[in-house]
Amino acid sequence: MPRIPRIFVKGPEVAYHVISRTALDGFVLGPQEKDYLLSLFRRLSSVFFVEVFGFCIMGNHFHLLCRMLPHENFSDDEVIYRVKRYYGDRREIENLPPGKILYWRNRLSDLSRYVQEIKQRFSRWSTSAKAAKATSGETGSRA
pLDDT tens, residue by residue, 11-65:
667 899 999 988 766 678 889 999 999 999 999 999 999 999 999 999 989 999 9
Q: Which of 65, 74, 77 is nearest to 109 (CA)?
A: 74
Q: What is the C-alpha separation between 43 and 31, in angstroms, rounded?
A: 18
Give, to the nearest 10 degrees, the angle between helix 31-45 and helix 111-135. 140
Mean pLDDT of 114-141: 77
Give the class (CATH, top level) of 1-70+110-124.
Answer: alpha beta
Domain ranges of the chain: 1-70+110-124, 72-108
CA dist., res. 58 & res. 63, Å (int): 8
Lowest mean pLDDT among 78-87, 101-110, 111-120, 129-138: 129-138
Amino acid code (one letter) for 85? R
Q: How confident is the model at residue 112 (pLDDT cuts 50, 70, 90)?
A: very high
Cβ–Cβ < 8 Å for 109, 73: no
